[in-house]
Every structure is written in C-alpha cells, then in structure tokens.
Chains A and B, each alone.
Chain A
Amino acid sequence: MSAKIVARSAEKRFQTRAGWMTALRDFDLEVAEGEFLCLVGPSGCGKSTFLRILAGLDHATGGEVRIDPGPDPRQPLANVVFQEYAVFPWKTVLHNVAFGLEMRGVGRREREATAHRWIDKVALTRFVDYYPAQLSGGMKQRVSIARALANDPQVLLMDEPLGALDAQTRAVLQEELLQLWEESRKTVLYVTHSIDEAVFLGDRVVVMTAHPGTVKTVIDVDLPRPRDLSVMATPEFAALTGAVWDALRDEVRRAMAEQA
C-alpha cells in the first residue's frame, strides 16, 4: 500500500517568551492509505502539533510533512475532529454536520441529504434540529465526528476526541467509531492519551518521545478486525498495552521531571 501521509525529518519550533521551543525534531512517519494510526506520547510531546500541521492549521519549520493528494482534486485533504468538540453553538446539528459541504458550495438539498445520512449513522436522528447546548458531551462529539465524515476527507484527523468524556460514554463511542471506520476504511490519524484506546482502535500505535517529539517505537496491533470491546479482555490485548506502556513509561517520567 502507498503512503498517504509522509513526514520526513519534520521539525517544528515555536518562539515563546522563554525563547525558542522545539516541539518536533527529526520526526519521521509514514501512514499507509486506509490505515488507522494512533499516536501516543507524554503531554506536550508535539503529537497535537503534528496533527495541526496536517490539518493546515500550522506549518512545519523544517523537513517535510505532506498528505498525498488523491485522484479527485475536489475531495478535501484532511478534516479534524477537535478535542473540545468545537461544534458551532449557533448552528443546529443539521447545519453543523453540513458545514464542510456548505463551505465547498454543495447545493442545499444535496448537502442536507448527506448530513441527514450521517446524522442517522451517529444515531442523532431525533436531534437534527437541536442546538449543541441542548446535547450531552457524547452527543456533541458525535456531531463533530459526523461533521468531519460528512465532508468525506481523504484523511481523518482526530485530536483526543474522546478525552473529555466519561469512561462509559467513551467506550460506547470507541465502538461506534470503529463501526463507522469499517464502512469507509479512511486513513485516520488518531492522537490520544489513552493506551487502551490506542491499542483498541489502531492498526499501529506510534509512541513518541517527550519533547522534542520524535518517534520512539512503532507497535503493530495485529488484533483481528472487526473488533468490539470484548477484545480488551484478551491476553493479546494485555500484551500489546503492556508493550506500549513499556515504551512510554520512561518518556512520561522524563516529561514529568522536566515540568517539575
């Protein structure tokens, strides 16, 4: 399979009050077309920065970061499911989900039909005309996921999308997300804090070093698909999360020591 996302010796430096900060250095990564890749690392390791560069919200200061454009130039490259939902409070569920299509000039009837289809898929049919303030956190994040998927991007970028949810809602949404992904097999880059979540969702888990962020290890997750939450009870799952944690532990310690 060809590489959809390529990062070669990518570097990102910020100017802060304390001087220059290096968020990413010598960052190399390839994500295959149709792959679900999870990025884990200690807080502040630059994993969100990498995602923001892919989303076009930030620029690399060195090296190369690119998404291989597909055959259809009209298909958007990458859309983000943001950490704190970022669904527009002033738009109904329907108009939030249709947002990307509206920005691209898709006609009203077509974009609303597409939005309705995605709203059905994330089980919000009853709430089409609700405003986000009337929804729970889990429902808002479903809207955010539907908004990104309805726009049919070549790559789906998810920045700790379930981080703010309680454990039960989170588990339900993880399963729903996998079901949605099985239908389309889009390329996904998924940034998370949770090792369980990374192993449960991903084809590969990339462990990053504490800052400046580079790739420390890549762990292949060969659990069979389609997966459901019962996979978390298997010894294979435990072995994989153990392996991720082994790679991560020193980095988390290092990050904590630097912050202290």
Chain B
Amino acid sequence: MPGSARGAGGPAATAWALPLAVLLATLAAGFAFGLWATAWWALLAIGFVCVVLLAQELESRLALRWRGPFQRGLALGFPLSLLLIWELLAGAGILNPRWFPPPSQIAVALWELTVTFDRFNRSSLIGRPWLVPQVVSEQGWAGVQELVRESHVWATLSRVLGGFLIGALPGVLIGMVMGLNRTVRMMLDATMSAIYVLPKIAIFPILMLVFPNPFGEGPKIAVVAISAFFLVAISTMAGVQGIDKVYLEAGRNFGASRWQMFRHVILPGALPIVFSGLRLALGTALIVIVAVEFVRADRGVGFLIYYYWQVLVTPRMYAALVVVMALGVGLTALLQWVERRVMPWRRN
C-alpha cells in the first residue's frame, strides 16, 4: 500500500511470519510425532486457517487492480493445489494409490476409456466419433446408430434429458393449475407432498414390473421423469402463489383477460421459482440415473462406475466420476443458458 503509514517492521511482519511459522510447525509436528495418522483433521484445520491468513495478507499487499485476478487465481489455485497434494501423497504412498489413485493416473484412465472399445460389453465411453466417416461409407446411417448405441455418455445423457423433459413439462403445467385453482390445489397438494418426500428410486422395482421390457430404457427414463415431475410441480405451484399481489391488481386494473393475465403476469412472475425448481430437478435427475445405472444397466456412466468398482480398476472408476461431474456441469450450464434466454430481465 503506497503512501500508507504502515512500516516494514512491527505488525506487518507478524502478519506474515506468524501463520507461516504455525503452518510449518504444524507440518513438522505432524511428521515428527506421527500425528497424521490420528489427528489429521486437526492438522488440516490448522493448516487451512494458516493458508487463508497468508492469502489475505498477500492480497492486502497487492495493488487494487491485481486483487480481482488474485481472487480468481485463488478459485482456480485451491483445487489445483489439492490435486497436486493428492498427486504427491499418492505418489509417496502416504495415500493408498489403490483407493486414491493419483490424478495423473485418472487422466490416463480417462483417455484410455475414451479411445478403447470394450469387446466383451460392446461399448465405449463416447461412441468413438472418429469412426463416423469410415462407418458411414461402409454401413451408412445404421452404422452411426450402432456407434451411438455403444456410447455410455449418450446412454446416460439420453435418459437424463428424456426423463427430465417428460417429467418437467407436465410438472410445470400441473404446478400452474395447482397455483391458479384452489380446488385443484386442495385435491392434489396433500397427495403430492406425500409422494414428494418419497425417494423416487424406491419405486424403480415397481416400474420394472409395469414396463413390458423391465431391462429396457422405459423404467429408467420413467423414474427420472417422476423424480423431476414432483419437484417441478411443487416449485411451480409455489412460484405462482408467490407472485406479488400488486402485479395481479395492476393486471386487473388494466383490464387483462384471463389468458392475458396468465401470459403477461402469472407466467413471467412465476418463472424465477419455476427455474429454481428445474435446476433442482436436473440435479436430482442425475443422482437418480446414476443410482439406477448402478443397479440395472449395461450402458451408462453409473454402470461404468459400478463395473470398475467391482473389478477394482479404481483409476477408471474415478475417470467415470469425472465424466459424471462434466455431465452435471454441462447440463447446468445449458439450463442457465435457457434461463437467461427466457428471463432477459434477470440478466444483470
């Protein structure tokens, strides 16, 4: 801080030195007395506090225009250093690499999963898109379909998106009707709330009985759809009921008809809460589909996780976890994009 009265010695020096000293002492004590095995949680807590203090001290010494980049650097640097520590600990054998393989191994496993074709299971991670030109010339469209069918990512994605859409659209409709009509609300609310709390994965066995092909896509998509439906319906109802009365009165005073009221006041007024319901439903859809694929599937990222757990190829299991994370991030970004499109007034 140029121009400030702060000197080089005194409190400024302690602000640096004290947390640094504590941090080093903690690490040293951890190794010297074998505390890592028992009191690792205390060592981690002390270490974390020291790192935070150091980062704050460092930031206060930066020129104002560097503080923004510094904070973004923290957001990126923290997870990267965690990965680095993981890598080092696993490499040194402190973390058992069989259960916690180093990130570098996971990256390699992810690459292998992507490029290899599992002959036994006749599947691949993303369907080997580089084969498309060759397959089209040899077998035409049917060959491409074959490639799509072998893809684990596509299997999971189609179940999540299909189930989400099939559940969310009627969810919005029923939720709107429940929000608008007291009679319908009274009839359905108690029932919906009761089913809402039931973990939908619990009805998966019933769905397998109901569908003609219990091992097909039907029950899997249905269980995702049902999970999404109740979440979306209940939050849509809350969104409609939560619209500030003054907007309804303004609509009435300016002579809006029933349809105009819905189109110009109720629908846009409820949208923010509808979308928070959709976000929740999307997250739940991903949880449900992974759980279903653990149990009953020969395709899908959930299947991969469970399969590589069973055969104890943990790097590939972690690689599949990374794919699930990427799917979640991608789908959420997609929904946010739609949200910005549909509600331009909430952009800033």
Chain B's closest residue to A157 (CB) is: B253
Complex contact A57–B253 (CB within 8 A): yes
**C-alpha spacing A140/B21, complex, angstroms:** 56
Residues of B with C-beta under 8 A to A55: 249, 253
Residues of A with C-beta under 8 A to B246: 82, 84, 86
CB 8 Å contact bits of B249-290 with A (1 = contact, 0 = none): 111111111001000110011010000000000000000000
B343 at the interface (CB under 8 A from A): yes
Number of residue pairs A-B, CB distance < 8 angstroms: 62
What are 26 A-B pairs with beta-carbon distances under 8 A? Answer: A55-B253, A57-B249, A57-B253, A76-B255, A78-B253, A80-B249, A80-B253, A82-B249, A84-B246, A86-B250, A88-B247, A88-B264, A88-B265, A89-B345, A90-B268, A90-B343, A91-B345, A99-B264, A102-B260, A103-B251, A103-B255, A103-B256, A103-B257, A131-B344, A133-B348, A147-B254
**C-alpha spacing A104/B343, complex, angstroms:** 25
Q: In the complex, how many angstroms separate the beta carbon of B262 from the nearest chain A beta carbon?
A: 13
Given A84-B246, A86-B246, A86-B247, is A133 in contact with B253 using a C-beta cutoff of 8 Å?
A: no
Residues of A with C-beta under 8 A to B269: 90
Chain A's closest residue to B267 (CB) is: A90
A41 at the interface (CB under 8 A from B): no
CB 8 Å contact bits of B174-211 with A (1 = contact, 0 = none): 00000000000000000000000000000000000000
Q: In the complex, how many angstroms separate the beta carbon of B26 from the nearest chain A beta carbon?
A: 48
Residues of B with C-beta under 8 A to A79: 253-254
Residues of B with C-beta under 8 A to A88: 247, 250, 264-265, 268
Residues of A with C-beta under 8 A to B250: 80, 82, 86, 88, 99
A151 at the interface (CB under 8 A from B): yes
In chain B, positions 143-187 with a C-beta closer than 8 Å to chain A are none
Q: In the complex, how many angstroms separate the beta carbon of B178 from the nearest chain A beta carbon?
A: 22
Q: In the complex, how many angstroms separate the beta carbon of A60 from the nearest chain B beta carbon?
A: 17
A70 at the interface (CB under 8 A from B): no
CB 8 Å contact bits of A52-91 with B (1 = contact, 0 = none): 0001110000000000000000001011101010101111
Complex contact B249–A99 (CB within 8 A): no
Chain B's closest residue to A144 (CB) is: B250
**C-alpha spacing A204/B176, complex, angstroms:** 47
Q: Pick the 4 closest A-B CB pairs, nearest first.
A: A90-B268, A131-B345, A100-B254, A86-B246
Chain B's closest residue to A92 (CB) is: B345
A134 at the interface (CB under 8 A from B): yes
**C-alpha spacing A128/B9, complex, angstroms:** 58
A residues with CB within 8 A of B:
55-57, 76, 78-80, 82, 84, 86, 88-92, 99-100, 102-104, 131-134, 147, 151
**C-alpha spacing A79/B45, complex, angstroms:** 62
Which of B247, B254, B344, B345 is the one whose CB lies under 8 Å from A103?
A: B254
Complex contact B268–A151 (CB within 8 A): no
B-side interface size class:
20 to 34
**C-alpha spacing A82/B244, complex, angstroms:** 13
Instruction: Beyond A57-B252, A78-B253, A134-B348, list 8 extra A-B contacts (CB 8 Å).
Output: A86-B247, A91-B268, A99-B250, A100-B255, A103-B260, A103-B264, A133-B345, A147-B254
Residues of A with C-beta under 8 A to B264: 88, 91, 99, 102-103
Complex contact B252–A56 (CB within 8 A): yes
Chain B's closest residue to A100 (CB) is: B254
Chain B's closest residue to A95 (CB) is: B264
Of the listed residues B247, B249, B251, B253, the one surrounded by the most CB atoms of chain A closer than 10 A to its CB is B253
Which of A89, A92, A134, A151 is the one whose CB lies under 8 Å from B254?
A: A151
Q: In the complex, how many angstroms separate the beta carbon of B247 from the nearest chain A beta carbon?
A: 6
Residues of B with C-beta under 8 A to A100: 254-255
Residues of A with C-beta under 8 A to B260: 102-103
Q: In the complex, how many angstroms separate the beta carbon of B336 from the nearest chain A beta carbon?
A: 18
Residues of A with C-beta under 8 A to B252: 56-57
Q: In the complex, how many angstroms separate the beta carbon of A52 from the nearest chain B beta carbon?
A: 8
Residues of B with C-beta under 8 A to A147: 254
Complex contact B254–A90 (CB within 8 A): no
Given A86-B246, A88-B250, is A104 in contact with B255 using a C-beta cutoff of 8 Å?
A: yes
**C-alpha spacing A249/B271, complex, angstroms:** 47
Residues of B with C-beta under 8 A to A103: 251, 254-257, 260, 264
Complex contact B249–A90 (CB within 8 A): no
Residues of B with C-beta under 8 A to A56: 252-253
Residues of A with C-beta under 8 A to B247: 86, 88
**C-alpha spacing A132/B345, complex, angstroms:** 8
**C-alpha spacing A79/B265, complex, angstroms:** 17
Residues of A with C-beta under 8 A to B345: 89-92, 131-133
Of the listed residues B246, B251, B254, the one surrounded by the most CB atoms of chain A closer than 10 A to its CB is B254
Q: In the complex, how many angstroms separate the beta carbon of A73 from the nearest chain B beta carbon?
A: 13
Q: In the complex, how many angstroms separate the beta carbon of B184 from the nearest chain A beta carbon?
A: 25
Chain A's closest residue to B345 (CB) is: A131
Residues of A with C-beta under 8 A to B249: 55, 57, 80, 82, 86
Q: In the complex, how many angstroms separate the beta carbon of B344 from the nearest chain A beta carbon?
A: 8
**C-alpha spacing A57/B247, complex, angstroms:** 12
Chain A's closest residue to B347 (CB) is: A131
Chain A's closest residue to B256 (CB) is: A103
Of the listed residues B250, B256, B265, B346, the one surrounded by the most CB atoms of chain A closer than 10 A to its CB is B250
CB 8 Å contact bits of B211-223 with A (1 = contact, 0 = none): 0000000000000
**C-alpha spacing A103/B251, complex, angstroms:** 9
